[in-house]
Amino acid sequence: MLTVIQRVSESSVRINGEIKGLIGIGLMVLLGIEEVDGQDDIDWLCNKIVNLRIFPDENGVMNKSLLDVNGDLLLISQFTLHASTKKGNRPSYIKAAKPEVAVPLYEKFISSMEKTLGKPIQTGEFGADMKVAMVNDGPVTILIDSKNRI
């Protein structure tokens, strides 16, 4: 699983002009799922994401986690994170999981993230044409690959 994690002061996702998810201070997470991903990747990523110390403490040092600041999380599925651009100019998405594999893993990720965070999260809709807006606070953007843990 690949993630792009952005610390935000606000973020939202619209589908067909309607707001589907909306958060204030917290994290906006883009999630790309591969065929080889599983529950171990989900558990590791959820724990890593909520415990990342990327929020400022009283001295302005990034020393607090999403849990510490009681922040919110907006999760957006994004298969294009697995784009390969090695050949030509049209990206290949061969590594991205097909919907029959990705949808159940996405739903498990949501459930695991809510359990790890201790509250509901906001989401987009798998496979939908989404309009995502956010104010990247910092800016702080972190890339995490569950297959690159060392």
* Active site (catalytic) residues: 78-80
Token digits of residue 53: 């110390």
Pairing state of beta strands 2-15 and 26-32?
antiparallel
Closest to 121 measured CA to CA, from 31, 60, 17, 61? 31
| SS3 label, residue 16 | coil
- Return phi, psi of residue 103, to 5°: -60, -50
Alpha-carbon span 27 to 6, nearest angstrom: 6
